C-alpha cells in the first residue's frame, strides 16, 4: 500500500463530456496498491486503515493522472534539421516535400536504420517523456512504407512495450505517403497495404489502430476511404490525419466511418464540427506542428462548443514536430487554441485516453484505475500552465511503481 499526502490540488480528470471539469479535490490524499488506485479524497477523511502505510508527503503540490500523448510518430531514422532551416528561410513544408525532402527523406533514413538502432533512439525519447509525467504513448508506423520496414517499426514498438515502463498503443500508418517506387502505380501500393500488410499486422496483433494521411502530397479521399474501410473490416480502430495542409473532406470521412479520432483539423468547417460531434469522434489537436510549420492553430473553442472533445498531443516526428514535450504542447493549446488550463489537462489525460480507447483504465484518477500518476511542482493547474519550466514534474508513478521522485 502506498499513500500520497499533502496534495494541494488533486485533479482526478473524470471521463465525462465536460471538457473543463477536472474533478478537483483540494488538500487531498491518494492511496494505491498492486498497481491500482484504492482510495482518494480529502486528507482529513483518509481511512484509518491507510494511515500506517508508507506515505510520501507531496508538500502542497498538484497531482494529476499520468499524461497521455495520444499522437506520436515515435520510431524514425535520422532527423531533418536542414529542413527546419529551409522553412525558416521561407520554403514551405510542401515545397520541401516536392523536392524529395519531407516524409520521403525520413522513409529512406528509417529503412537504412537497424531495428536495434531504431529501438535505442525511441527508448531515449520515451525516457525524456516519462520524466515529464507521460505514462502512455500512442505511436505510429509510417516511415517504412514497404512490407519489411513497416513491420520493423511495429516490432520496435512491441519490443519497447516489454522493455520500458510507458504503455504503448501502436497505430499502423502505412498510408502516410505513397513511397517513391510506387509513384506511378499508386493503386498497387494501396493493394499492398490492404492485401498484405493489414492482414499480417492484424494476425500478429502489431497494431490496434489504422491511420491514413489524407492531404495534398499524400492520399486522396477515395484512397483513404478504401484503406480505412478495409482496416475497419479487419477490426482495426480508425484514425485520420485530416485537413492539415489542405481541405480534402477527410474530417467528414472520419465521422462517416466512425473513426475514434481525427487529427490536426487546422482547416475544418463548421459542418465538419457538427459531424464529428455527432459521431463522437475525438479531435486531436497538435499545436507543436502548428508552431513548427508557422501554420494556423486549430479552432478548439468552437469544436468544444460544438460538443467535440479536444485532445492535445505532440505529434512527435522528425519533420513537422521534432519535440515530444507534451507540457509545451499544452501551454501552446492554452495560448493559441483558446483552451483553459483545465480543458487542456483533460485533453492530455481522459480525453487523450478516449482517443486511444483506454478511458476505462487510464487518464482519470478513480478507484480501480491504473495507478499512473504525475506530481507537478505547482499549487494548481493554472499555476502549472502559467509558470512554464523545462520540467515541472517532480514525481512519476507508473502502474503503482515510482519511476521518478524529486520530491
Binding mask 272-311 for Fe ion (x = CB under 5 A): ----------------------------------------
- Angle between helix 147-163 and 115-131 (nearest 10): 50
Between residues 102 and 309, which has the closer beta carbon with respect to ligand NIG? 102
Residue nearest to Fe ion (CB): 315
Could you tell me what percentage of the chain is helix, strand and coil, using 3-state DSSP and rounding each to the nearest 5? 40, 25, 35
Candidates 112-120, 142-150, 232-240, 312-320; binding stretch for Fe ion (CB under 5 A): 312-320
Instruction: Round to whole Å and give the CA distance between 258 and 385.
Output: 33
Candidates 14-22, 36-44, 245-253, 315-323; binding stretch for Fe ion (CB under 5 A): 315-323
Q: Minimum CB separation from Fe ion for residue 398, in Å?
A: 25
Residue by residue, DSSP assigns 144-170 as --SHHHHHHHHHHHHHHHHHSSSEEEE
The residue count for binding Fe ion (CB under 5 A) is 1
Between residues 9 and 321, which has the closer beta carbon with respect to Fe ion? 321
Residues of this chain that bind ligand NIG (CB under 6 A): 73, 102-103, 106, 213, 241, 244, 289, 315, 317-320
Find cell 537497424 and name the residue: 114
Interaction partner, residue 75 (ligand NIG, Fe ion, none; CB < 5-8 Å by kind): none
Between residues 80 and 369, which has the closer beta carbon with respect to ligand NIG? 80
Q: Minimum CB separation from ligand NIG for residue 398, in Å?
A: 26
Between residues 211 and 372, which has the closer beta carbon with respect to ligand NIG? 211
Angle (nearest 5°) at CA 239 between 237 and 244: 175
Q: Minimum CB separation from ligand NIG for residue 315, in Å?
A: 5
Long-range own/partner contacts, residues 298-301 (CB < 8 A, 24 or more apart): 298/264, 298/265, 298/266, 298/337, 299/268, 299/337, 300/333, 300/337, 300/338, 300/339, 300/343, 301/337, 301/338, 301/339
Between residues 241 and 404, which has the closer beta carbon with respect to ligand NIG? 241
Residue 315 sits in the site that holds Fe ion (CB under 5 A): yes
Bridge partner list, 401: 398
Between residues 37 and 282, which has the closer beta carbon with respect to ligand NIG? 282
Residue by residue, DSSP assigns 226-251 as HHHHHHHHHT-EEEEEESSSS--SHH
Q: Minimum CB separation from ligand NIG for residue 284, in Å?
A: 10
Residue nearest to ligand NIG (CB): 319
Between residues 238 and 376, which has the closer beta carbon with respect to ligand NIG? 238
Interaction partner, residue 237 (ligand NIG, Fe ion, none; CB < 5-8 Å by kind): none
Bridge partner list, 134: 67
Instruction: Round to whole Å and give the CA distance between 310 and 7.
Output: 27
Binding residues for Fe ion (CB under 5 A)? 315
Amino acid at each position: 500500500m502506498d499513500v500520497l499526502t499533502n496534495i494541494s490540488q488533486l485533479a482526478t480528470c473524470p471521463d465525462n463530456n465536460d471538457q473543463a471539469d477536472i474533478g478537483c479535490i483540494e488538500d487531498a490524499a491518494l492511496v494505491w496498491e498492486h498497481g491500482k488506485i484504492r482510495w482518494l479524497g480529502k486528507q482529513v477523511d483518509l481511512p484509518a486503515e491507510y494511515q500506517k502505510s508508507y506515505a510520501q508527503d507531496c508538500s502542497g503540490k498538484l497531482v494529476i493522472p499520468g499524461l497521455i500523448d495520444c499522437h506520436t510518430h515515435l520510431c524514425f531514422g535520422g532527423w531533418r534539421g536542414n529542413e527546419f532551416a529551409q522553412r525558416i528561410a521561407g520554403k514551405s513544408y510542401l515545397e520541401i516535400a516536392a523536392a524529395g525532402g519531407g516524409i520521403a527523406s525520413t522513409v529512406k533514413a528509417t529503412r537504412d536504420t537497424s531495428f536495434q538502432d531504431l529501438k535505442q533512439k525511441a527508448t531515449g525519447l520515451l525516457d525524456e517523456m516519462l520524466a515529464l509525467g507521460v505514462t502512455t504513448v500512442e505511436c505510429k508506423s509510417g516511415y517504412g512504407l514497404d512490407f519489411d520496414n513497416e513491420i520493423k517499426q511495429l516490432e520496435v514498438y512491441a519490443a519497447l512495450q516489454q522493455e520500458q515502463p510507458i504503455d504503448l498503443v501502436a497505430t499502423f500508418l502505412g498510408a502516410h505517403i505513397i513511397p517513391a517506387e510506387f509513384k506511378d502505380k499508386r493503386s498497387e501500393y494501396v493493394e499492398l497495404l490492404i492485401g498484405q500488410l493489414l492482414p499480417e499486422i492484424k494476425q500478429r496483433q502489431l497494431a490496434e489502430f489504422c491511420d491514413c494521411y489524407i492531404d495534398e502530397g499524400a492520399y486522396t479521399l477515395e484512397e483513404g476511404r478504401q484503406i480505412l474501410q478495409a482496416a475497419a473490416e479487419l477490426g482495426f480502430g480508425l484514425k485520420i490525419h485530416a485537413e492539415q495542409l489542405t481541405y480534402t473532406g477527410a474530417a467528414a470521412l472520419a465521422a462517416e466511418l466512425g473513426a475514434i479520432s481525427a487529427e490536426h483539423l487546422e482547416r475544418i468547417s463548421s459542418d465538419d464540427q457538427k459531424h464529428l460531434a455527432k459521431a463522437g469522434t475525438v479531435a486531436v489537436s497538435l499545436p507543436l506542428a502548428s508552431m513548427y510549420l508557422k501554420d494556423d492553430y486549430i479552432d478548439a473553442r468552437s469544436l468544444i462548443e460544438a460538443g467535440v472533445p479536444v485532445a492535445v498531443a505532440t505529434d512527435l516526428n522528425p519533420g513537422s514536430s521534432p519535440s515530444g514535450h507534451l507540457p509545451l504542447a499544452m501551454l501552446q493549446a492554452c495560448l493559441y487554441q483558446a483552451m483553459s488550463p483545465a480543458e487542456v489537462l483533460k485533453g492530455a489525460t481522459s480525453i487523450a485516453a478516449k482517443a486511444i480507447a483506454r478511458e476505462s483504465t487510464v487518464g482519470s484518477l478513480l478507484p480501480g484505475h491504473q495507478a499512473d500518476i504525475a506530481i507537478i511542482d505547482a499549487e494548481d493547474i493554472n499555476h502549472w500552465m502559467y509558470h512554464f519550466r523545462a520540467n515541472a514534474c517532480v514525481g512519476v508513478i507508473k502502474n503503482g511503481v515510482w519511476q521518478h521522485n524529486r520530491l
